[in-house]
Each structure stands twice: as C-alpha cells, then as structure tokens.
Amino acid sequence: MAVRKKSDFPVSEIRRFIEPGPIVLVSSQHKGERNIMTMGWHMVMSFEPSLIGCYVWNQNHSHELIRKSRQCVINVPTSTMADTVVGIGNTSGRDIDKFQHFNLTATKAENVDVPMIGECHANLECRLVDGTLIRTYSVFVFEVVKAHAPKTPRTPKMLHYTGDGVFITSGPTRNLRKKFRPEKL
C-alpha cells in the first residue's frame, strides 16, 4: 500500500464518501497517545456545515481519546485494505500502536492534532461540535473542517460491512444524473 496523493476537497461534498456507507478508519490522538478504530455506524447530517454523526462505543479505546481531545480524522479505506481493516478491528489500542503494527503512514492534518492515515483514499479532519448524545447513544456529532482526497477516481472501491465477517465491496457505478430533476441532485 502506498501513501496516496491528495488535494484539498470541498467539505460540503464529502457525502460522496460517507453517504454510501463504507466502513471507515477513525484515527485519534490525546496527550501523546494515538489510535485507530474501525467504524461502520455513521451518517451524514448536513452539507453546510458539513456534519457527520458517528457511533463510537464507550468500550472502544478510542472513545475516551476522541471525547477528551474533541477531534478525530475519518479515513476512508479502499477494498484493497480489507486485511488491514479487519486487523484494526481485531486489536485494541490498549495493547499496540496500530500505525506501527499495521505499517500505516501517519500524515499531518492541518486543523486537528490527529495523525491521518496516508494509505486511505480520503481523510476528513473532524471537530466535535455536539457531545450531548455521547452519554445516551454513544453518538458524536462532528463537523468536517478540512478534507483531503485525490481528484480521481470520483469514488473509490470501498468496503461495506454487513456483520458476521462479511463485507460487500463497491460494484459498478450507475450515473442516473439525466433522470434527476435538477433541483433534486
């Protein structure tokens, strides 16, 4: 796996990566400790500001790192990273440094003090803007404050988790743009 070349990407358009529902890798850092977790439960909640709701179970080691630092990076892996995704889900940041263990490149974010995963297709720098749902639902509401993605492909082949160890990979794209009413796009 190689570090991907990316450019600045409009935060209001990151639905492209999140709305299709891929498994993502969340990186976090607090007081010198860093971690990565897999996350499958998330949703777009707004374009502007660019909001994402994320479920981070309070038993995950990342939960406290994110809650205390109030920031994270959502990294979108491609289907070629399947083994790494499973490995990250199998292990705990209590025991290992996952960047080191999985040979992932920590790249520097611009607006948060959290390492991004260079090998992922897209990196979304996030700040916690609403923590009121953490206690009840383990849901963090983040604002994407900066996004990094390559110019092409428009959408990568992603992994979608279905439980029981079974993933669906992204299949063929269908462009139905001509069938949409312009105001519905």
Binding positions for a second copy, rule: CB under 8 A: 13, 15-16, 19-22, 40-46, 51, 53, 55, 79, 82-83, 86-87, 89-90, 133, 137, 139, 141, 154-155, 157-181, 184-185
Closer of 14 and 109 to a second copy (Cβ):
14
Nearest-angstrom CA–CA distance, 27 and 42: 15
Query: Considering beta carbons, is residue 53 or 150 the nearer one to a second copy?
Result: 53
Name, in order, each residue with C-beta under 8 angstroms of 103's C-beta and a sequence gap of 6 or more.
none
Q: How far apart are the C-alpha atoms of 105 and 128, rounded to whole Å?
A: 24
- The phi, psi pair for 143, rounded to 5°, reads -105, 130
The minimum distance between CB 31 and a second copy, in angstroms, equals: 27
Nearest in space to 38 (alpha carbons), one of 96, 94, 98:
98
* Cα separation of the two ends of the chain: 35
Q: Which residue has the tokens 């935060």?
A: 11
Long-range contacts of 174-181 (CB under 8 A, 24+ apart): none
Residue 87 CB, nearest approach to a second copy (Å)? 8
With respect to a second copy, which residue has the nearer C-beta, 97 or 130?
130
- By beta-carbon proximity to a second copy, the closer residue of 2 and 166 is 166
* Closest separation in Å from C-beta 80 to a second copy: 11
Min dist CB 2 to a second copy, Å, is 22
Residue 61 CB, nearest approach to a second copy (Å)? 14
Query: 56 vs 116, which CB is nearer to a second copy?
Result: 56
